[in-house]
Chain A
Amino acid sequence: MTASTHTATRRLVVVGAGMVAHRFVESLLDGTDEAFQVTVLGEEGRAPYDRVALTSVLTGGTVAGLTLDEDVFADPRVHFAPADPVRMIDRDAREVVTMSGERHPYDHLVLATGSYAARLAVDGFDLPGCFVYRTVDDVEGLAAFVAARSAQLGRPLTGYVVGGGLLGLEAAGALQGLDVECTIVQSSDRLMSAQLDAPSGGMLRRLIAARGIAVRTETITTCLRPDQSGQIAQLEFRDGSTAPADVVVFTVGVRPRDQLARDAQLECDPRGGVRIDATCVTSDAHISAIGEVASFDGASVGLVAPGYAMAEVAARRLRGGEASFGGYDLSTKLKLSGVDVASFGDAFATTPGALDVTYADPVAGVYKKLVLSDDAKTLLGGILVGDASAYGALRALVGAELGGDPAAYLLPEGGVAAPGGDLPDEAVVCSCSSVTAGRIRSAVHDDGCADAAAVKACTKAGATCGSCSALVGRIVGAELTKLGREVSNALCEHFDLSRRQLFDAVRVSGLTTFSAVIERFGRGRGCDICKPALASILAVLTGTHVLDGENATLQDTNDHVMANLQKDGTYSVVPRMPGGEVTPDGLIVIGEIARDFGLYTKITGGQRVDMFGARLEQLPDIWRRLVDAGFESGHAYGKSLRTVKSCVGSTWCRYGVLDSVGMAVTLELRYRGLRAPHKLKLGVSGCARECAEARSKDAGIIATEAGWNLYVGGNGGFTPRHAQLLAEGLDDDALITAIDRYFMYYIRTADRLQRTAPWVEALDGGMAGLREVIFDDSLGICGDLDAAMARHIDGYEDEWAATLADPEKLRRFESFVNAPTTPDPSLGYVPERGQVRPATADERDAGVLIAGTTLEVRR
């Protein structure tokens, strides 16, 4: 555009007041006081709003909350006329005419009329109860209909979403939120077929099903039928089958609203859309088209980011600058809570020679694919299902060299080397608003933004579709850290991963030692946070003794010496007493040992005996006697199974209906030694009186006439929680299978030191979801979980017996390297109630009555 056109272009008319029109006006007027007169003519009866976030209206958001920045139209140079659609363009007179008959002359006209949502061209497509999903009016109408119709029918509605693309999935989630039992009907063989390949489509289907939404693929709807009242009642499919339906939403695609342009004989694409060149100008030099109505290079695209880019180009040109539209970025991310799906760049690997790297984790319901150039260096595109947290970062890297092991980018939740902090300044992080990494950094450093929310307000990064939010957050975090402020959710300074990510990283990489894991996924030499976490992960994945090889150094002292550290540096000894059951002979042995070593004894809250005050060098001697008498480690020290508490049950109790002690013993023997993110406790009660307090346990089992009831996610301790019912009336085998799977699923997916109660609370799909995983195998992982538990049971050996048999391991119990059997000279005890206890500081200072450890036994 020449300077002369520019100066002549004063009166601008914009047709359509949608997202792209809004952005156009903002870009045109922002930061200039040029005397434009901008008239915006809208069809909808409201100010421009965020259509991308439309669904929020059905999930608790307000229409007002969607409204885009109102300051833009408040500019005195803007005249906004809503609810008066343009009827025709008079190109000769350079005027547009609205429905109400107003004529608006223009120097330059901008068409931003967007698209309309298509319906299926089948009988009954417009019956009451059939909707499209495009405008605020559409979703408000849908919500009102659902409320009225379900009140009328006196039951929740059955709904169908016709069209299984991005929008269909989002609409199905919204319907579900309105309490509608929902099925998606898709004509092709998979969901989101425009974005996903067959394996990722399959994974998505399972995730959607796990969320309680049914899916029918390769199903063509041929007819919709009303009931006697004339409202939609039934769908008929090509194979002749029918399905009852109370409400139908069509999400079968959008068509550019190019009628005005066609009537005015502007060049349009046969498949729809007003043809534009790279400057966004149509076949008439006085008319531009931007957003979904425009067709560039033979295509119209139903995404907001390219529309915003066009708005920017058109505005800059009208202000006299240079800019051109570079083409479409088809990257997209599904916005359906609990279901992460994204595809970007050349997702289908159409570039000649393209390679792909995939990672699939059916346990977590994750499938990821990166498409790389033939030398495996440059990122071309990819697909992320189940965990799309790396989407923002990866999309920003399309066309760039990955620099590193591509597999690292595929690991869970953003991966190890997930880019972010070190993206080049020019990388576009937020494509909706064209915000670069450099701009975000300067928002932190120069504009004083102290968090991602402030950066969002200041730069608009993350303000539209939100898919870049995670990356924006990471960059902001990295910058804040540079400024000396702390922000991180990494395990510790040595690993950027959470426990769950680390678990997957170790599992997928097959690494078995700490050094190898930290070299590949971390930095430095670890600390007291990551080392024990990794020890637990390695124990589950490799099933080796806690004191084997280098990994022994990862253990906290409790796990290292297989006893519990006490305040004076001695340890307590807790032999296992499965189910709280102990023979008189067993009790006698314990009594004798405690007496011979001068240990304080107490019954624990977990129904067994604890012996306190054992010194490091005494532990092997004490345990040799315990092992000889048939006792095993009670793992009171481990993040592992603790106890299975029982009540006496049907064997003795007059009310007992099942053998709770027998079951408790079976379970304790089954899960003994099982390493977990936190400790595991169970309880088994013989009847509903619940004397074992089973519902305060991670797994609580209560006998009923019909069989065992299984409750999960209970907790005593700091935040007490009652366990919730998972299943009723189970027989012994079914009970055990259910607990096996529940524990293994927890072990694989929980965070470091997260007990089952908070884990269950945070589970997607809650208790119903857990039931589906365990009983219906909704994730297809039950085989895996069962095998992992079988491996644990086969591999179990008593840690103490194994240690006693290995002289090398016993060296760890020497008190001093240069005096292996000398007791810690600082210990001191006083008698109390017939036993000993550690002396207090005052008693030490007073120096009286204190027996040191060198005194023999009867201290």
Chain B
Amino acid sequence: MTLDLPRTATWRRVCAVADLEIERGRAALLDGIQVALVLTRDGSVYAVDNRDPYSGAHVISRGIVGTRGSIPTIASPMYKQSWDLRSGVCVESQGKEPRPLRTWLVDVRGGDVMIFWEATP
């Protein structure tokens, strides 16, 4: 093996959709990385970083899910910043510098939540 092998990302099952609750996030642990999973009312599932970039605490999954205009959002329970669940763009920074959340691709297949996961080296 050489060091320049392209990094691989694959679809990986995290849990069943039934394990999620509409509009209440759940945290998932993948290779030591914490992901916040959110199921919205229209059946979409989103995966964003569970780490709140403002407090450094891993709490995003415990925030309130809602909308801003037509954008699905989640707010941090710590200092109430909120983000676009689709892109991780910070839509309310509470007067601070906007900081994004990392996001992952999610697919729901046969009742399973699949995440396009890139194993960390």
Contacts and interface: CB of A to CB of B under 8 A. Distances in A.
A816 B66 contact: no
A526 B15 contact: no
Interface in B19-75: 19-24, 26-30, 32, 34, 37, 40-41, 51, 55-59, 62-70, 72-73, 75
A818 B66 contact: no
A528 B21 contact: no
B74 to A, nearest CB: 9
Nearest to B55: A567
Contact of A826 (B19, B20, B30, B58): B58
Interface in A307-322: none
Contacts of A824: 34, 58
Contacts of A841: 56
Contacts of A716: none
Interface string A545-556: 000001011101
A826 B56 CA distance: 9
A553 B69 contact: no
Contact of A527 (B22, B32, B66, B70): B66
Contacts of A825: 29, 32, 34
A517 B106 CA distance: 31
Nearest to A555: B64
Contacts of B102: none
B87 to A, nearest CB: 18
Nearest to A531: B64
A568 interface: yes
A528 B65 CA distance: 8
Contact of B24 (A528, A552, A568, A616): A552
Contacts of A816: 26-29, 34
Given A527-B68, A816-B27, A557 B55 contact: no
Interface in A271-298: none
A524 B23 CA distance: 13
Contacts of B77: 556-558, 565
A819 interface: yes
A815 interface: yes
Contacts of B32: 825
Interface in A507-559: 524-528, 530-532, 550, 552-554, 556-558
B68 A569 contact: no
Contacts of A557: 59, 62-63, 77
Contacts of A526: 64, 66-67
Nearest to A815: B27
Interface in A817-851: 817-819, 822, 824-826, 841
Among B21, B23, B37, B65, residue most surrounded by chain A Cβ atoms (within 10 Å): B23
Nearest to A814: B26
B22 A819 contact: no
B14 interface: yes
B62 A560 contact: yes
A10 interface: no
A494 interface: yes
Interface residues of B, number: 40
Interface in B72-88: 72-73, 75, 77-78, 80, 82
A553 B23 contact: yes
Contacts of A616: 62
B41 A817 contact: no
Given A493-B69, A552-B24, A824-B58, A528 B14 contact: no
A93 B51 CA distance: 94
Contacts of B34: 816, 824-826
Contacts of B27: 815-817
B57 A527 contact: no
B111 to A, nearest CB: 14
A525 B56 contact: no
Contact of B66 (A531, A568, A814, A819): A531
B98 to A, nearest CB: 17
A520 to B, nearest CB: 16
A528 B82 contact: yes
Given A553-B22, A565-B59, A567-B55, A527 B28 contact: no
A822 B27 CA distance: 11
Contact of B57 (A552, A567, A815): A567
A527 B82 contact: yes
B22 to A, nearest CB: 7
A527 B73 contact: yes
Contact of B37 (A524, A527, A550, A817): A817
Contacts of A558: 77
B46 to A, nearest CB: 13
A552 B80 CA distance: 18
Contacts of B22: 550, 553
Given A816-B28, A822-B29, A524 B82 contact: no
B14 A818 contact: yes
Contacts of B69: 493, 524
Contacts of A556: 64, 77
A740 to B, nearest CB: 32
Given A817-B14, A817-B15, A824-B34, A565 B78 contact: yes
Contacts of A553: 21-24, 64-65
Contacts of B30: 818
Contacts of A568: 56-57
B21 A527 contact: no
Contacts of A552: 21, 24
Nearest to B21: A553
Nearest to B24: A553
A29 B28 CA distance: 77
Interface in A338-367: none
Contacts of B19: 817
B62 A528 contact: no
A569 B64 contact: no
Nearest to B64: A528
Interface string A482-525: 00000000000110000000000000000000000000000011
Contacts of A818: 14-15, 28-30
Interface in A145-183: none
B118 to A, nearest CB: 17
A525 B41 contact: yes
Interface in A769-814: 812, 814
A493 B68 contact: yes
A819 B75 contact: no
A496 B108 CA distance: 36
A550 to B, nearest CB: 7
Contacts of B20: 817
A569 B79 CA distance: 12
B67 A527 contact: yes
A556 B66 CA distance: 12
Contacts of A532: 64
A120 B92 CA distance: 66
A557 B59 CA distance: 9
Contact of B23 (A525, A815, A822, A826): A525
B73 to A, nearest CB: 7
A525 B65 contact: yes
B38 to A, nearest CB: 11
Contacts of B56: 568, 841
Q: What 9 pairs between A and B have smallest CB-CB spacing?
A: A569-B57, A527-B66, A524-B67, A557-B77, A528-B64, A528-B75, A557-B62, A817-B26, A816-B29
29 contacts: A524-B69, A525-B40, A525-B41, A525-B67, A527-B67, A528-B63, A528-B66, A528-B82, A530-B66, A550-B22, A553-B22, A553-B23, A556-B64, A557-B59, A561-B62, A565-B62, A567-B55, A567-B57, A569-B55, A569-B58, A569-B78, A814-B26, A815-B29, A816-B27, A817-B26, A818-B14, A825-B29, A825-B32, A826-B57
